[in-house]
Structure 1
Amino acid sequence: MTRAPAAPRTSRRRHDREIITLAVPAFGALVAEPLFVMVDSAIVGHLGTPQLAGLGVAAALLMTAVSVFVFLAYATTAAVARRVGAGDLSAAIRQGMDGIWLALLLGVAVVAVTMPTAPWLVDIFGTSDTAAPYAITYLRISSLGIPAMLIVMAATGVLRGLQNTRTPLYVAIGGFTANAALNAGLVYGLGLGIAGSAWGTVIAQCGMAAAYLVVVVRGARRHGASLRPDAVGIRASAQAGVPLLVRTLSLRAVLMIATAVAARMGDTDIAAHQIILALWSLMAFALDAIAIAGQAIIGRYLGADDAEGARDACRRMVQWGIVSGIVLGALIVVARPLFIPLFTADPAVQDTLLPALLVVALSQPVAGVVFVLDGVLMGAGDGPYLAGAMLATLVVFAPVALLVPTLGGGLTALWWAMALMMTVRMATLWLRTRSGRWIVTGATR
């Protein structure tokens, strides 16, 4: 009788090892990504305020353009992981190549749109006359790196699907280091100013894309996978990505609405909101690492026709999400006297920030479940449901958030609305996982 729980304990240990092996390197790679912008900001900031302002506008536009296509990583991870689970590595890499070719095509299209419209895009942000020329220069040059950035996304999805998150970590570290060195050398060494910062980032991004392609091409040759573009496969990758694109746009709409509402409340509220949003995003990186592990693991189990293994992994990852959320929430509460002064010395901003920050801390366990279940359903290829659920969440959130300035409650009320948004997401994702309809086994969904 005492030996009966051994199998469940063994299963939990196996899942824990898989989650840690995939999530820890994934977290490192995720954290490295925003450091690119931080390095650019630190170096350009010493050139002058107009240059830094121009960089801020251009960077916001670039990050928006790239983040819209995050489905290149998510959809590719799920599709490749299913093939891996089915034991067909050649087809897995072939599937990944379709995603990479799609990334290249989309990247070229974005460049073709961005280059001629750069002045208009900068103008709609209300950029000052002194900052606009720098923003246009940085945007036009940096847009040349967008195809490389999208290739990096798709190739990252390939490697995650192959259960390899270490290589993306190494490439991210190498890219960050190269970006820092190139920026310093081109901006100050050659005196190229903000253009040097843009060129340094483009070169670093192209180097990262090249490193990924070397790894993928070697794998393709080893397993006899074709590298040539396949119109049918590229079209299938695009179709699989459309629901995730809708999901991503809906989520970005939530964040834009929240920021717009905070801006209407006044300078103090928007300043405090931006600080909280930065911390919220940092917490999201930690939780997203578990979600990435979930995409790879669930896809592999379903590809191997192991529905029970997928259920067990899902349950264990939910436990990880809850515990991680509790830990992150506790860290926010305990460390708040240390990090709040790092962001602002304004007593009014600090007073506005504190109660809203406690709401964020309380909602972290909910966020943990949301990120994990989001990753599980992505790994299962359940994109259409995720799109519908996020649209429904947006419909609930938007009127509540927009009423905050009228009903009162300030920034704290706005972040309670954000907590409501996460709760609605958790409910929709939980209902789906409980239904079991996401469990579709086989090499393809």
Structure 2
Amino acid sequence: MEADRKLALATKAQLFRRIVLFVIPGYLLVVVGCLATAVDKAFVGHVSSLQLASIGPASSVYEMWTQTIRAINGAQLALLGSPPAEMSRASIRAVGFVYMTSAGLFGGIAAFVMAPSAVRWFGASSEMFPFAMAYLQVRAFFMVMGRVRDSCNVVCLAEKDSVTPFVASVIAFVANVLGDLLLCPKYGAFGAAVATDVATSVAAGFTLQSLRNSGLWPKKFPCPGRRESRHFAKYAFNLFLSAVALLMILISETRLASKMGTTSGAAHQILDAIWRIAGLSLSLPMEWAGQTFLSKDLTGAEWRHIASVISAASMCFSILSA
């Protein structure tokens, strides 16, 4: 009896270690992305508080598309963790990539076209308008590259590999800082947008090549049918609603702060960057851990065991973030 108890404790400790080793690179992956955004805002803020404030409405429009599109990411990760009988993991990877790139192209075109009216609705004043437009249209033009990166990251995470996306994010962070150094002093918000999108493209290329080397990159990209769409929609719909609820809060804050003037809008961007680094960055890796480790082939006891370990890890990281 004592031996069984010790074995159970050792197993739980080993599982906790596996989950923590998965979550830490994932957590750092998100933190590095948030830091890159904070660095952009720091460089732009040193050029002009007006341009810093203008990033708020532009980012809100951009995130309105990207955050909702990421519901497809969540669905793909969930399906890779618990693939349905009629879909192989290879087909899930291929179909997920098709969905993500298609959504990225559509979202980019929509954000580009709706930019003039959208940035005004999200609180950009007449003084902010040209800078917000420049930032948003550059980001919209390259939106698809971010979705390529996200889809590649999901494939890595499904293989319980959070290190490759983290390394890609570090490379992108360095490229982003160098781009900001070169472009922001002269071009302000426009330069920050260019630097961010170039860095995103570098990260996407690195992760894509890693998938090719490991044999995980799809050889064919079939047009998704009704069956595939049904499976993706099953998971994506709830994630979409969750993303919309969060976006409504974030967007309303940005809109109100921007309407209060340049000073309030700029201050809000600084506080938003701090909150994303300290708080929001934790939620994604814990979500990934749940989708990766809690597969449908587990027994009830195994599922509860893993869920309790993930909850314990989440509590530890929540205290750290606080």
Normalised to the residue count of structure 2, the TM-score between the two structures is 0.84
Cα distance change on mapping 1:212 and 1:117 into 2, 3 Å: same
Matched, 1:320 2:313: yes
Cα distance change on mapping 1:281 and 1:64 into 2, 3 Å: farther
How far apart are residue 69 of structure 1 and its match?
Answer: 2.0
Cα distance change on mapping 1:77 and 1:316 into 2, 3 Å: same
SS in 2 for 1:5: helix
How far apart are residue 229 of structure 1 and its match?
Answer: 2.9
Matched, 1:309 2:305: no
Partner residue of 2:247 out of 229, 249, 252:
252
Matched, 1:74 2:74: yes
Q: Deviations over 1:76-126 (max 9, x none)?
A: 22211225x99xxx9324312211111110111112212222111111123
SS in 1 for 2:294: helix
Q: Percent identity?
A: 19
How far apart are residue 195 of structure 1 and its match?
Answer: 2.5
Cα distance change on mapping 1:259 and 1:197 into 2, 3 Å: closer
Matches within 5 A, 1:375-414: none
How far apart are residue 318 of structure 1 and its match?
Answer: 2.1
Structure 2 distance, partners of 1:212, 1:132, is 35
Matches within 5 A, 1:1-20: 1-20=1-20
**AA in 2 matched with 1:231:** P
SS in 2 for 1:158: helix
How far apart are residue 160 of structure 1 and its match?
Answer: 0.8
Cα distance change on mapping 1:223 and 1:29 into 2, 3 Å: closer
Partner residue of 2:179 out of 171, 177, 182:
182
Matches within 5 A, 1:41-52: 41-52=41-52
**AA in 2 matched with 1:245:** F
Matches within 5 A, 1:267-306: 275=271, 278-279=274-275, 282-299=278-295, 302-303=296-297, 305-306=298-299
Partner of 1:136: 133
Q: Deviations over 1:151-185 (max 9, x none)?
A: 22222211111111001100111111111111222
Structure 1 distance, partners of 2:255, 2:132, is 22
How far apart are residue 257 of structure 1 and its match?
Answer: 6.7
Larger Rg: 1
Cα distance change on mapping 1:123 and 1:224 into 2, 3 Å: closer
Partner of 1:31: 31
Cα distance change on mapping 1:173 and 1:236 into 2, 3 Å: farther
**Runs of 4 or more off by more than 4 Å in structure 1?**
254-263, 274-278
Structure 2 distance, partners of 1:138, 1:254, is 22
Normalised to the residue count of structure 1, the TM-score between the two structures is 0.62
How far apart are residue 235 of structure 1 and its match?
Answer: 2.6
**AA in 1 matched with 2:136:** L
Query: Please, what is the CA RMSD of the aligned residues?
Result: 3.5
Structure 2 distance, partners of 1:153, 1:306, is 31
User: Which 5+ residue runs of structure 1 have no aligned equivalent?
Assistant: 333-445
How far apart are residue 51 of structure 1 and its match?
Answer: 2.1
- Structure number with the bigger relative contact order (C-alpha 8 A, sep ≥ 6) is 2
Cα distance change on mapping 1:43 and 1:106 into 2, 3 Å: same
Cα distance change on mapping 1:181 and 1:93 into 2, 3 Å: farther
Structure 2 distance, partners of 1:257, 1:57, is 10
Partner residue of 2:229 out of 223, 229, 235:
235
How far apart are residue 211 of structure 1 and its match?
Answer: 1.9
